[in-house]
Chains A and B, each alone.
Chain A
């Protein structure tokens, strides 16, 4: 299964739309997509079409969030499907990165 990443940049705000799975097979493309962003002060990761994640995918997301935070870039994950959000919650990601970073779909 693949993951399609569509990037939109406007006014130093980048929005990455993910479509597919966030797993060991796709983490590289996520990483590459984020690394390409230059002169951006806000990044929105749109998980609207993410169907499921695995531990490697979550590990990669957390690394991206840490990297962006360390660079002073505001990062949020939006439209997280409830099932995926639950996985994040069980792992305690909102506690670590902040509740506002993780925005559940239709919430």
Chain B
């Protein structure tokens, strides 16, 4: 708070003249004292003294006779000095006292705060204003006790000039993008606080990251370049699948301090591809190398591939025969009675599977119903497991034989001269004749197992089987010339083992609208999207999910979860059998009596209606139930 002494007053003694020594800037605040008592007593001889203020003047009159001396006290917004001492409490005064009265005014005040953003692209100005206040002395009639105070007169806002703000900006090196219009508004603003963006930099422009447009995603299914299969999109060989728009380097910007701001480096993501896709034009265009179904997989890094697709436009029946295909199969119609479909990849069926058999190494999707059908997804068949087992043994034996040959050749008592003349096969034959007699037998069993698998096999398995038989059975080894041939054969077997392991371990789903009198098996989830499952056997390596449907009759088994809307029938005559595995949890919204839960030898019959039933196997291996029973 600022104080300004605006006036000095000397008080004149009784009957005499007064001396005025005013330093006043403000006439209104000047005080003139007139030395005459105003408090007249009734008795001429005994009269009280008085103090009066008139037009800013303090006039003291001494008492007469036995009259009292007057007192003054300090009120608001003034400072009173009596004989040079501050008046703090009511004080008796007389005409001889030197009384100075000062008005306490407050001065207008403002501050400017400037904040520059970290990237120097913005300067934020905060203008804080506080108005000053002006007071004047109030007139007081002659009184024995007087309180001197000043009355509020006016508010004065601080004046802030544009140039002052500009100076602050320049002091802080803000020279670019100054918004004078905003500053003008701020300085004219009659309020306490205002914040404005006083300067804005210019951001770099024109930077564009590379962009990959997957063209097959935007096309409609019935274009000439596509063969329509329901809503399924397939591509033909040579079709462009993706186009990469190259990155664009932008132009630099300027920050508020006038410094150049370089544009960021644009991201340059390549088109990532897997099988069935070729890159051309320096990797900027991806083209289908085979006809099939385009697949874009991955969340952060997206890989583009084309899976071979065989499309059956219509039903699988007498005109098509059974279908076996190493890739994916799409059927726009139904699979009719007694026909089968085998896919090395996935099966997508837009109609029904009626009295039909569907095998796929990958997903099976049936948009309609499965009636009296047998559906299997994922490499979980017993035959596949046997094949894997054989391949593992074979791999182990071949590696062992290869090591034996290597050790043998390093023996000082073993000559390799004849191997150079007749070929490495001579030694392989010797090893197979004696220590590794089992190898040809395993190979023959492997070939036989493959022939028994009534499924479309991975072609690699067939190739490996053929090569193994040619090179390691009968007199085949004698045809081997180089050691590398054996090494390559072992590598192929290893690859086949990995493929089989993948086939068996990969979880794939079966999705179907409605199931009746069918058997469904998969390594992943069985999802029934529609009315439910009637008298069917469902076995899932993952979960069985029938979120909106009913399950009546049949048997259900899953490793993770069984989630069903309604289980059993209100009449209680469709006994559903649920096989609860150790880590599996059953959740059903409505459960009717007659449902049987089994875990090992434990068997539990649901005898009353339940809502929100949960069932699981506890640590002790016993079935536990939780739900709302309704009698």
Q: Complex formed: what's the CA distance from A93 to B206 in Å?
A: 79
Chain A residue total in the interface (Cβ 8 A): 24
Given A24-B421, A90-B408, verify A95-B434 contact (CB < 8 Å): yes
Stretch at the interface among A10-18, A31-39, A56-64, A70-78: A56-64
Additional A-B contact list (16), CB under 8 Å, known A54-B416, A91-B434: A21-B415, A24-B418, A24-B421, A24-B422, A52-B413, A55-B426, A55-B427, A56-B418, A59-B429, A59-B430, A87-B411, A90-B407, A91-B404, A92-B431, A93-B434, A95-B435
From the candidates A59, A87, A92, A93, name the one contacting B414 in the complex (CB within 8 A): A87
B84, CB-defined interface residue at 8 Å: no
Q: Is the Cβ of B431 less than 8 Å from the Cβ of A23?
A: no
CB-CB < 8 A to A95: which residues of B?
434-435
Interface string of B421-454 (1 = CB under 8 A from A): 1100011011101111100000000000000000
A24 engages B412 (CB within 8 Å)? no
Write the nearest CB–CB distance from A29 to chain B, whole angstroms. 16
Q: Select B417's contact among A24, A92, A93, beta carbons within 8 Å.
A: A24
Q: Is B419 an interface residue (CB 8 A)?
A: yes
The answer to whether A91 and B435 have CB atoms under 8 Å apart is yes
Taking CB atoms, residues of chain B closer than 8 Å to A56 are 418, 422, 426
Known: A23-B418, A55-B418. Is A84-B426 also a contact (CB below 8 A)? no
From residue A74, how far is it (CB to closest CB) to chain B in Å? 20
Closest 3 CB pairs of A and B: A92-B435, A83-B413, A54-B415
Chain B residue nearest to A93 (CB atoms) is B434
Among A21, A57, A87, which residue has the most Cβ atoms of chain B within 10 A?
A87
Closest to B430 in A: A55
Question: When chains A and B are docked, how far (Å) is the Cα of A84 from the Cα of B408?
Answer: 10
Which residues B193-237 have CB closer than 8 A to chain A?
none
B478 to chain A, nearest CB (A): 11
User: Are B404 and A90 closer than 8 Å at their CB atoms?
Assistant: yes
Q: Which A21-54 residues have a C-beta within 8 angstroms of B?
A: 21, 23-24, 51-54
Is there a chain B Cβ closer than 8 Å to A81's Cβ?
yes
Contact (A91, B408) CB under 8 Å given A55-B430, A62-B434, A96-B434: yes
Cα of A18 to Cα of B132 in the assembled complex, Å:
129
- Point out the residue from A24, A62, A90, A92 that lies within 8 Å of B411, measured CB to CB: A90
Within the complex, the shortest CB–CB distance from A57 to chain B, in Å, comes to 8
CB neighbours of B412 from chain A (8 A):
52, 83
List chain A residues, Cβ under 8 A from B411: 83, 86-87, 90
What is the distance, in angstroms, from A64's C-beta to the closest C-beta of chain B?
A: 14
Which residues of the partner chain B approach A24 to less than 8 Å between Cβ atoms?
417-418, 421-422
What residues of chain B lie closer than 8 Å to A51, measured between beta carbons? 413
- For this complex, 10 residue pairs linking A to B, each with C-beta atoms less than 8 Å apart, are A24-B417, A53-B413, A54-B418, A56-B422, A58-B430, A87-B411, A87-B414, A90-B404, A90-B407, A91-B431
In the bound assembly, the distance between CA atoms of A26 and B402 in angstroms comes to 27
Partner of A92, one of B407, B415, B418, B434: B434
Q: How far is the CA of A56 from the CA of B427 in the complex (A)?
A: 9
**Distance in Å: Cβ of B531 to nearest Cβ of chain A:** 64
Bound CA span A81–B413, Å: 9
Cα distance, A52 to B417, chains bound together (Å): 11
Bound together, the chains give a CA A56 to CA B404 distance in angstroms of 17
Measured between alpha carbons, how far is A88 from B162 in the docked complex, in Å? Answer: 106
The closest CB in chain B to the CB of A94 belongs to B434
Which of B413, B419, B426, B435 contacts A86 (CB under 8 A)? B413
Q: How far is the CA of A98 from the CA of B282 in the complex (A)?
A: 67
Q: Given A87-B413, A90-B407, do A55 and B434 touch, yes or no (CB 8 Å)?
A: no
Q: Measured between alpha carbons, how far is A65 from B384 in the docked complex, in Å?
A: 42
Q: Known interface pairs A59-B430, A87-B408, A90-B407. Does A23 touch B435 (Cβ–Cβ under 8 Å)?
A: no
Inter-subunit contact A54/B414 (CB<8 Å)? yes
With both chains docked as a complex, state the minimum distance between the C-beta of A31 and any C-beta of chain B, in angstroms: 15
Candidate in B408, B415, B421, B436 with the most chain A CB atoms within 10 angstroms? B415
Chain B residue with Cβ nearest A59:
B430
Nearest Cβ on chain B to A87's Cβ, whole angstroms: 5
- Determine the distance from Cα of A34 to Cα of B404 in the docked complex, in whole angstroms: 30
Minimum CB–CB distance for A52 against chain B, Å = 4
A55-B418 Cα distance, complex, nearest whole Å: 7
Most buried by A among B412, B418, B419, B422: B418
In the bound complex, how far is the Cα of B413 from the Cα of A54, in angstroms? 8
Chain A minimum-CB-distance residue to B421: A24
Q: Which residue of A lies closest to B403 (CB)?
A: A90
Cα-based distance from A51 to B413 in the complex (angstroms): 7
Give the CA-CA distance A24 to B404 in the complex, in Å.
21
Contacts of A87 in B (CB 8 A): 408, 411, 413-414
